[in-house]
């Protein structure tokens, strides 16, 4: 273990998926590399990357490899008003140990908005209110206190 941390993606919410795909893919030249549709959650997640990054990562489909920086378009199927920058979602980083990262941030006075109760995922906010997702590298860590029983605080 150590201080491993890798940038994963930036998430933005989009209200018109087709117009957004036209902008990001046809306009900017990004390539759709992954799509997940959730009937139950009523949302779609579309991951985009530059052709150069796709080639450099040797990506040919399947699970998105670490080190392939992406933009995640999140399309909520039900109309939503994205006032106040609500359309910007979060930055995401994979961490060596999500518990240690959260403890380090908490020791600095940072609120853990969504604790890593599952040993896999947490959310915090930057001093400017930017949501940051912290994801555990490899398998989920076993549940551990104080995280396992810590409640959510605020929004992320």
**122: Cβ contacts below 8 Å, ≥ 6 apart:** 98, 101, 102, 112, 114, 115, 116, 133, 134, 147
Q: Which of 43, 20, 31 is nearest to 69 (CA)?
A: 31
Ramachandran class of 57: left when φ > 0, alpha when ψ lies in -120 to 50, beta otherwise: alpha
Tokens of 17: 């998926």
CA dihedral of residues 22, 28, 34, 36 (deg, nearest 10):
-40
β-pair partners for 91? 10, 132
* Interstrand relation of 43-49 and 88-95 (parallel, antiparallel or unpaired): unpaired
Active-site residue (options: 18, 39, 80, 133): 133
| Known active-site residue 60 | no
* Residues marked as catalytic: 133
């Amino acid at each position: 273990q150590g201080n491993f941390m890798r940038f994963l993606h930036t998430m933005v919410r989009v209200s018109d998926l087709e117009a957004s795909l036209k902008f990001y893919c046809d306009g900017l030249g990004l390539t759709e590399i992954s799509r997940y549709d959730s009937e139950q959650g009523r949302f779609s997640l579309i991951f985009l990357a530059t052709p150069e990054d796709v080639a450099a990562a040797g990506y040919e489909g399947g699970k998105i490899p670490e080190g392939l920086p992406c933009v995640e378009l999140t399309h909520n199927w039900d109309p939503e008003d994205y006032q106040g920058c609500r359309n910007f979602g979060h930055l995401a980083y994979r961490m060596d140990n999500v518990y240690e990262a959260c403890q380090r941030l908490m020791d600095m006075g940072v609120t853990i908005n969504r604790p890593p109760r599952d040993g896999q995922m947490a959310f915090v906010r930057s001093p400017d209110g930017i949501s940051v997702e912290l994801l555990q590298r490899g398998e989920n860590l076993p549940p551990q206190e104080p995280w396992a029983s810590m409640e959510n605080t605020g929004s992320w």
